[in-house]
Structure 1
């Protein structure tokens, strides 16, 4: 009876964690580039009550959350018609840097790099592409993607990430030297660490040495679609179904605790 009570407690804790994850998924159903998560459970230690016979007699001691896994399947695309809205068609992430100008202009300043699938970039007053939080979109040379507004009247981004500008003097479209958007595809994207703001941090679980390689070529693998955003990969029908399962599981474990308590109460009453 005591074992069943503690097993019920562990079950309630596990389903509470599952509900927390589902709630976060649903809250981000409209978040651009969001990747949903799911909880994987495992049983806890088992107590051997008897070793007599062919098979051991064991009683389980409940369950626990083994891991919370991220699902990096691509979300659906939404056409916006805005040239600075970018979506990656395939694997990989955009590489962005801290919104610290000195970190790019001064080699002695340490620079932090992050990964993101959120492609709603904007152009600042200096012609640099930045996220809504101010992080700079980087090219394959680990520099800012920058379009000189005094030299080019407009620009476009091709599917290989190369930036082209319309020269004000000649009226011709020309490729901007060194301005090709970097895409990095970690070996294990589920190993990335979320740091908030739709950003991911590289870890040793995601790839060798936990470093971002700017030189990885993604031609014929991943393309960049301009004028489109990748939406969240959360499916509400799946989340509601999992929510019902988690709710019923929580209720069942709660009932297990109350049932064990009633039996204990009956034992106490036998003394009277």
Structure 2
């Protein structure tokens, strides 16, 4: 069987995977905090048809002869580059000025997940959550750097004063401030998690990630303590998808798919000619 058939098939499959990645990037061009992906190819093992030989007394060295056996998707990596700021003016929208992630309690209190989507809200029980109801993790007042706990905005303070509606804010240092009566009180501090290899995090949907063996463990910290990862309220992070680049890549991928398909049809024509020799 012609090796070109296998090479053509592997090329079509690899280009299809690349198109899948590109299409997903385009679909998420307006997803808050989305990070684009990229498919990288690598060649498959080559078949050696003649070994190399070294120089001899009267003859120079001869290079070996190898025929490639196609292509494969070597990796699909994530571009963790920062998206541009999108000003919303909403007090509970957060932009992370750095490479860190907001920390959320996994549904069912089963560990933690991480996200760059800073669109937060306060539910009926006073929990600070994301749109999917996952509670934001942080530190209790005076416990910065200690154990993480869900951040809750009490309906009233210790003195019995009620929360003034619409007066909850989050500062650059992550401190959550609420107004009771005429006074503002710090009720907690939002935590930021950093990773040695954030691109190694596993995407689990809803703009959230979980730790993988390649990401390293989370380093939880107070925003700004590492010199970066401060928070900007009233702003969200747009997707970092470059639509112009994606459309350009889509055209190149489409043409490469067509070229691989043509190599298969050409190989088929050659086989047909071989069969016709028997007539």
- The answer to whether the superposition gives a TM-score over 0.5 is yes
Distance in 1 (alpha carbons) for counterparts of 2:185 and 2:131: 28
Kept in 1: contact 2:172–2:224 (CA 8 A): no
Q: Contact 2:35/2:241 (CA < 8 Å) preserved in 1?
A: yes
Contact 2:96/2:232 (<8 A) preserved = yes
TM-score when normalising by structure 1: 0.90
The aligned residue for residue 210 of structure 2 is 201
Tell whether 2:160 aligns with 1:150.
no
Matched with 2:75 is 67
Question: How far apart in 2 are the matches of 1:155 and 1:99?
Answer: 24
Q: Please report how far the alpha carbon of residue 261 of structure 1 lies from its aligned counterpart in structure 2 after TM superposition.
A: 0.4
Cα separation, 2, equivalents of 1:214 and 1:223: 13
The size of the alignment, in residue pairs, is 256
Which of 80, 101, 104 aligns to 2:88? It is: 80
Work out whether 1:246 is the aligned partner of 2:253. yes
Is 1:162 equivalent to 2:175 in the alignment?
Answer: yes
Q: Which residue matches 1:106? A: none
Indicate whether 1:55 and 2:85 are aligned.
no
Please identify runs of 4+ aligned residues in structure 1 that moved more than 3 A.
215-218
Tell which structure's C-alpha radius of gyration is larger. 2
CA offsets per residue over residues 95-117 of structure 1, 9 Å max, x none? Answer: 001344xx4xxxxxxx3200000
SS of 2:149's equivalent?
Answer: coil
Check conservation: 2:47, 2:69, Cα contact below 8 A. Answer: yes
Structure (1/2) with the larger helix percentage: 1
TM-score by length of 2: 0.88
Structure 1 stretches of 5 or more lacking a match? 104-110
> 1:114 maps to which residue?
113
Q: Is the 8 A contact 1:8 1:253 kept in 2?
A: yes
**What's the counterpart of residue 263 of structure 1?**
270
Match of 1:39?
A: 39
Q: Alignment RMSD, CA only?
A: 1.5
Instruction: State how 1:2-17 maps to structure 2 within 5 Å.
Output: 2-17=2-17
